[in-house]
Structure 1
Amino acid sequence: MTDPDFLAAFEDGSLPEDLFHHRDHVHAAWLLLREETPAAALGRFAAALKRFAAAKGKTRLYHETITWAYLLLINERMERLSRDRVWEEFAASNPDLLTWRPSVLERYYTPEALGSDLARRVFLLPDR
């Protein structure tokens, strides 16, 4: 699947669930950040992720703090490495972003903060 096809299927909710794991979340965010400002990419990504979850009957899986934190970390890493890198280069340079457990977010958040209902609903600033 090409990157444009992948992104379109993610955004319209038609991407099969078995083709959308943590690494694919990061890839989708990276693609959007190549096209948009961070604020616009965040809006598109969050809306698409909510649609995707709803299409799969898993609306409770959406987590605002995790979504925002990862997208902002991806954006920072893109700036540090150069935005003209291809996905494979970005992925190879950032293995910590591609691993779900242990999560890179553990550097920034306590388990209590990320596990809270508030963190699920709104973006929380890091508490570490």
Structure 2
Amino acid sequence: MNDLDLFRTFESGVLSREAFSHKVHVHLAWIYVSRFTLTEAIERFRARLINWAKLNGADGLYHETITWAYLMIINERQRRGRYADFEAFLSDNEDLLKKPSVLEQYYTLETLDSNYARHHYVMPDKAVAAKAA
């Protein structure tokens, strides 16, 4: 599925739960930060993701901090690299798909597992050295 088809399928809420892998989740986040400003991407992706979760019986899976954090990381990396397509982006950013989660560089597991972080964005609670520009 190309970027536009994936975007439209997700926006319309018809992307199946089976098709919504972690890689597709990251791909969608990349599409949103590539099409919109970071503020618009967060606002729009968040709303669509919550709607998708409701439509697919996955209400309890939405996590505010994880959503915002991935969007911000993807946005920064996309802006620095100016990748023309997702596969090029992914080849330089494979850590976004690996376990342990890239977020463990920024957050303690206690924070990510908290009910508060699930419902409210929480700033990173680990110090991380910035990548060189």
Q: Which residue of 2 aligns with 1:88?
A: 87
**Structure 1 residue 85 displacement after superposition:** 2.3
Tell me the C-alpha RMSD between the 2 structures.
1.0
Query: Structure 2: which 5+ runs fail to align?
Result: 127-133
Whether contact under 8 Å (1:33, 1:41) holds in the other structure is yes
- Aligned length in residues: 126
Whether contact under 8 Å (1:65, 1:123) holds in the other structure is yes
TM-score scaled by length of structure 2: 0.91
Q: Which runs of structure 1 show a deviation greater than 3 angstroms over 4 or more consecutive aligned residues?
A: none
Q: Which residue of 1 aligns with 2:108?
A: 110
Counterparts of 1:8-87 in structure 2, within 5 Å, are 8-82=8-82, 84-87=83-86
Deviations 1:42-70 (A, max 9, x none): 11110111111111111010000000000
Aligned partner letter, 2:69: A
Aligned partner letter, 1:106: E
Q: Which has the higher helix share?
A: 1
SS of corresponding position for 2:84: coil
**Percentage of matched positions with identical amino acids:** 47
Distance in structure 2 (CA, Å) of the matches to 1:7 and 1:98: 19
